[in-house]
Structure 1
Amino acid sequence: MRVTNLDPMVFASLLLNFLLFIDQVNASVTVQYQLQKQQQMSASIAATASVATYTGEAAYNPKVLIAPPAPDPATTNVQINLAPTVQQAGLSIPLKNPFFGFSIEMSVSAQVYGKNSSFINVPFLNLMANVVERAGEVHIRCGGNTQESAAMVDSNPNGGMISKDYSSVTGTTNTPPIDYTVELIYLLSNISSLVNVKWFLGIPFNDTNFRMQIAQEGSRILGDNLIGMQAGNEPDFYTRFGRRPEGYDVNAYKGEVGQVIEILQDPQYEKVRNKIITPSVASEWNLQDVWDSGLIQENANSIAYISVERYPANNCAAVFGTNGNVINPQDVIGDYLAHSKVRDLVSFYASSTLFAQTQSKPFIMFETNTASCGGFPGISNAFSASLWALDYGLQMAYTNFSEALLHVGGQSVVYNPFTAPPTNVSSFHQWTVGPIYYSVLVMAETIGSSGSARVADLFANDNNDQTPAYVIHEGDSPARVALFNYAEDTTGGHDYTATISVPGTIDSVKVKRLTSKTVTQLNGIYWANQTFGVNFASDGRPMGDLVVDIVTCTPSTATAPDGSTITSSTCLVTVPAPGFALVFLTQSALDESDNAHPTETFATTAYTKAHNTLTVDPSVLATSNGQDATVRKYLGSTSFGTAGGAVGVRVPGVAVYAVSMALGVGMVLRRLV
């Protein structure tokens, strides 16, 4: 049930009762300033913060790198010759959306999802709704390093949904044990009641006293919205992190997975006993040894996904002072603007994805991003990451991955697809949307909603590193073409024209472009002319008018060796430097990608400075629920540094409400189940 479009007097009465109600449970009202002021704040940070002396939250690091020089001579024309499906070499397995999902560190749940099941972050709902619009659903993992030692408790001393013990941190990333209440599972369920989100959870594996409450309550509360239970996170690192003794190996892990599967035979786990995700290894164990162990084959009835985790590089030495070389981001930016690096990264798994097919299991990259330990400033939060992640995703699709989850941390990382504001006193448009979030939307449109998309790397332009291209087939024909241009050139001298030869006769194609002025730009990213703005500037809804270009094609005929007539069409599509173009070869291909599912966003305003509004003096509220530095230091991701999250208050009762308020603007009151 939803309460919307209320009569003003009825709304005022409901609002008054609601405010009295939340006052009784110490809930909070958020004051939010105008977008213009927040944009000025963001611009001021970028203009005045010295990179050498910047000491703010990593998520807003203003460091701007120097782009690699553009290739000389410039590529100005790329020939793309498409063929019917029966002639196209290397097509992937059929792919379903969503391909890209999110791995959200369990410890930052209160920051990202909402304080509790009664207060859900509206920008988060909108960000997920954007993906659902294109992919039909979103897959989110609530887990990470912090799931391993997580314990469900009846309550926390501070009354919060999550509590952390910073005196007992472990591992390279100083991960604290966390205590959480069942309120977290109710929060996830309420999110799924509003947007079509499916969840992955994790069984703690920090020792062999497996705490199964998360499986029990997850199954009971989430039902079919719980699609997988991870059995251990990066078990190949357990010895290094002190979670297992020396000598712990694949066979030891296999035995522990067997113990969990045995526990799951209890009737109370009936709904999750066949949803195991394993082995989730990173880099310490040889994958072939894992497959040869029989882990998958002997437990096939219990396993839903075969999983791995991988980051192409790490920034741990710089962030945590580990024994390793400190990497200067400027030295490696070229690695994120070269197709060969992406291909090398993914080809490592080619034999493993083939193994997964023999077992009839989807192969999933369960956690990844630009670099572990939070990413590289100037790369992970720049347009370079948008192009890289999209190329990475398409290369995984081509190599027969079924899905990949991009990791999300807190304030202390730079690679977040989206970041909640560091305090509750911010603008109305208050979140920061990172470059990789754009990749998620573009990837969803590239794969489409048919469930039968097949992807091939075209090795275009003599396999040129700067101009990779992919074709996506639907049924018997090519449906979409993905074109990249990694070159950096603000003059337009390295823009290229793709001459696309398409089988059959077509009058025109539709084109959407992912653009930014430079590969190193931190803001100003646009997908089909829509953007989520600068830091602290988004409520999760795209801003700007959608622009889809129409390119006229020229038909032609030729005579085949057997004397038959071959008909084709030539379409000229411009790809900016830097940029990406998605070419829809048919109207149905566009329809499957653009607004393929009903759109539902969650407006935080009903009217602007009109009626149904509440005005509160900001000076009164500035200290009512904000955090000072002693609190804010706990807002980062525990997966990648000392971190924490805002605490929530559970509101009892059957009816659960979320309300979002803004200074001088309207409100929307919704009832969650």
Structure 2
Amino acid sequence: MLGILPVGLLGLVAISLSPVSVLAQSSGRNKTLNVPFPDAPADADNVVKDNFLGISWELFVMNYLWGETPDTLSPALQNYLANIRSRMSNPLRIRIGGNSMDGSTYVANQTNMITLTDPDAYYNDVPCDFGPMIFDVLNAMADKIGSMQHILGLSMRNPKDPEILESIMHLAYDAETKLGDSLDSLLLGNEPDLYAGHGERDAYEISDYIPEIATMIDDLSNSEWGNLTERDILGGPTVCCGWDLDEVLNAGLKDFRYKYYTIQHYPTHVCGGVSEKSSNISYYLAHPNTPTFLQWNDAGIEIAKQKSVDMLLTEYNSASCGGDPSVAPTFASALWAVDSALQGAALNFTGMYLHTRELGVLYNLFDPAEASSGVEGALGEGWRTGAVYYAELVMAEVLGSGRGSVVVDLDLNGSRTNWEATVAGYGIYDLESEDGDGGDGGDGGQKKTKSKLALFNFDYPREALGESVGDEGKAQTFVIPANLTERVAYRILKGDNITTTGDQVTWAGQSADGLGRLQGEQELDVLECEGGCEVKVPGPGMVVVWFDVGDVDGEGGGDGFGNIFVGNATVAGLYESKTSEGVRIGSVSGRWVIGLVGLPFAFR
């Protein structure tokens, strides 16, 4: 289904044009840094798509966040997801899993989506019975916002129980039947390295796990519905903590036909309460921590690369067990989420998933308004937008090309190892054509073209030192060299300070309201850059810079936007007009404002 931009909601795009093509004189109080952008990436093996960053969901809250039936889909969630999906040319990645999925039972004849089965359950492991309504809701959401691709968990906690095994087989069959090609993968188990520690299994080791996986694959291949693994669909082991990926692979998992190898990881946890480590917000502003965070399973990732098996980080966020109040709701976590995703793209991951949970969990991407209003609360307004939600919008735009991209950490100012550095930068190279496309993780030897930069400024005003919000001394000026591109355009992700919460974070001048709709003029700043140019990023903040931007004011006969997303993705709410009145272009106070009025857009 195509999304329609409503007449009542003018998705305005404010475009600031600067005729200056020479470098302006920097103020002495602003920091200035040259940005090297090599003609070609040194390591171009890992090609990622614009749907790289997906969303991971705990099973037991699906009805509360999504809606109970296809007829009661949450309007706010439709808009939140449509904002992301409209910026992609590939299906939005959705993972349904977590401890809740691993401890729950699929009931094929259950008519409602979710039934909670243990009122005294531990909050990090809430079991439920769930039925096929979940697939109807997933398909209905795709009809509203555009295509999605799903990965679902199959429990490995007690696969020897005949009733549980029958439920697992039925789940795999119904998922395949009802979701069709949108079923991307079935993950065998969730964090099996914690089964023993959580009391699920006695003294459970890798040597116990591998034979059970072999038996499960055999059962799936010889089910009463036929071979449920006929196509490449299996993923795992989804380890997090106690087992290293290479140990599991070398113990025998690499001998099975897997589509994905999966891991999940958090920098720290609050499972036993907050701690000095979990509250250390400076960790999330130090770029050297990001490669370390994602290289924790390098040996296993190298095996995946050698076997041409795609790697997924199926769950990440600022701190497991819900996040620390000093970090999780803040702008610092949003910057870190983008930095981590780009680092993952540069380090041989095919996709990553930000995790979101039940109402009130601090690291959530979004929350309904009222806990006391039950499932009906999800149908109304008043949703809260988490700061990390904006990471999804940024990543969809920075990787937007339709053909795939290669991401390289530019190591600005030695930032991969320099603990004093307050900057980071990534170069994004787009594949030129679809000829010879190697699919996810492969490039078929295609030429890569410099297309975008992602530049971070982690500096921020310290109130204890008398520094105020908007302090120009915290801004970072990035210098793009001459003869690199004729013109650039850029958008900024910003918050007043690192502790700013989601309601005060903006991407391209916009923030989400209580119904998930992006409000405010959609900003795009354009600079002539043939002789070099400067892009100033507030502290804290990050910017995406597009190269080779064409004519954006309409005088040259083209829209000039190329792969830059322009428009409004609202699909639910008060505005339901389906008229198509084209594009209105006008000059307002020296800024070009392009208003897309009722313009339908196709999901690319």
Scaled to the shorter chain, the TM-score interval is 0.7 to 0.9
Shift in CA distance, 593/403, structure 1 to aligned 2, threshold 3 Å: farther
**For residues 294 and 494 of structure 2, what CA distance do their matches in structure 1 show?**
25
Question: Is residue 2:147 matched to residue 1:189?
Answer: no
Match of 2:200 among 243, 262, 285: 243
Percent identity over the alignment is 27
Question: Is residue 2:259 matched to residue 1:293?
Answer: no
Amino acid at match of 2:86: E
8 Å CA contact 1:216–1:269 kept in 2: the answer is no
8 Å CA contact 1:105–1:146 kept in 2: the answer is yes
Deviation >6 Å, runs of 4+: 1-5
Unaligned segments of structure 2, at least 5 residues: 6-27, 431-446, 462-468, 551-559, 578-604
Question: Is residue 2:357 matched to residue 1:377?
Answer: no
Question: Is residue 2:76 matched to residue 1:123?
Answer: yes
Match of 1:180 among 130, 144, 150: 130
Q: Which has the larger radius of gyration?
A: 1
Q: State the Cα deviation string for residues 333-386 of structure 1 (Å, max 9, x = none).
A: 110111011121112233332221111111000111110010011311111111
8 Å CA contact 2:117–2:128 kept in 1: the answer is yes
**For residues 135 and 269 of structure 1, what CA distance do their matches in structure 2 show?**
35
**For residues 448 and 212 of structure 1, what CA distance do their matches in structure 2 show?**
37
Please provide the CA RMSD for this pair. Answer: 2.6
8 Å CA contact 2:72–2:379 kept in 1: the answer is no
Alignment of 1:105-124 (within 5 A): 105-124=58-77
**For residues 135 and 355 of structure 1, what CA distance do their matches in structure 2 show?**
30
* CA shift for structure 1 position 109: 0.5
**For residues 506 and 126 of structure 2, what CA distance do their matches in structure 1 show?**
38
**For residues 198 and 169 of structure 2, what CA distance do their matches in structure 1 show?**
22
**For residues 357 and 226 of structure 2, what CA distance do their matches in structure 1 show?**
30
Shift in CA distance, 505/414, structure 1 to aligned 2, threshold 3 Å: closer
**For residues 447 and 141 of structure 1, what CA distance do their matches in structure 2 show?**
20
**For residues 606 and 573 of structure 1, what CA distance do their matches in structure 2 show?**
36
Matching residue of 2:267: 312
8 Å CA contact 1:444–1:593 kept in 2: the answer is no
Matching residue of 1:93: 46
Matching residue of 1:431: 383
8 Å CA contact 1:516–1:524 kept in 2: the answer is yes
* CA shift for structure 1 position 165: 2.4
Question: Is residue 2:94 matched to residue 1:140?
Answer: yes
Give the SS at the match of 2:572.
Answer: coil
Amino acid at match of 2:538: P
Give the SS at the match of 1:81.
Answer: coil
Amino acid at match of 1:518: N
TM-score normalised per structure 1? 0.70
8 Å CA contact 1:134–1:449 kept in 2: the answer is no
**For residues 122 and 2 of structure 1, what CA distance do their matches in structure 2 show?**
16
Match of 2:571 among 599, 602, 621: 602
Shift in CA distance, 242/329, structure 1 to aligned 2, threshold 3 Å: closer
8 Å CA contact 2:185–2:234 kept in 1: the answer is yes
Unaligned segments of structure 1, at least 5 residues: 6-72, 319-325, 556-569, 609-673
* CA shift for structure 1 position 466: 1.3
Alignment of 1:39-438 (within 5 A): 76-85=31-40, 88-91=41-44, 93-136=46-89, 137-153=91-107, 160-166=112-118, 169=121, 173-194=123-144, 195-208=146-159, 209=161, 210=165, 211-246=168-203, 248-266=204-222, 268=225, 270=227, 272-273=229-230, 274-296=232-254, 298-300=255-257, 303-318=258-273, 326-328=274-276, 331-422=279-370, 423=373, 424=376, 429-438=381-390
**For residues 407 and 107 of structure 1, what CA distance do their matches in structure 2 show?**
14
Give the SS at the match of 1:314.
Answer: coil
**For residues 131 and 177 of structure 1, what CA distance do their matches in structure 2 show?**
29
TM-score normalised per structure 2? 0.78
8 Å CA contact 1:94–1:451 kept in 2: the answer is no
**For residues 549 and 2 of structure 1, what CA distance do their matches in structure 2 show?**
28
Matching residue of 1:545: 521
**For residues 572 and 124 of structure 2, what CA distance do their matches in structure 1 show?**
38
Structure with the largest fraction of helix: 1
Amino acid at match of 2:157: N
8 Å CA contact 1:447–1:593 kept in 2: the answer is no
* CA shift for structure 1 position 448: 1.5
Q: State the Cα deviation string for residues 447-506 of structure 1 (Å, max 9, x = none).
A: 12333311111110232531011100124331101100111122121211111126x453
Worse overlay, 370-379 or 341-350: 341-350
Q: State the Cα deviation string for residues 561-612 of structure 1 (Å, max 9, x = none).
A: xxxxxxxxx22111111100111012389522425xx97532321489xxxx
* CA shift for structure 1 position 276: 0.8
8 Å CA contact 2:58–2:99 kept in 1: the answer is yes
Shift in CA distance, 155/234, structure 1 to aligned 2, threshold 3 Å: same
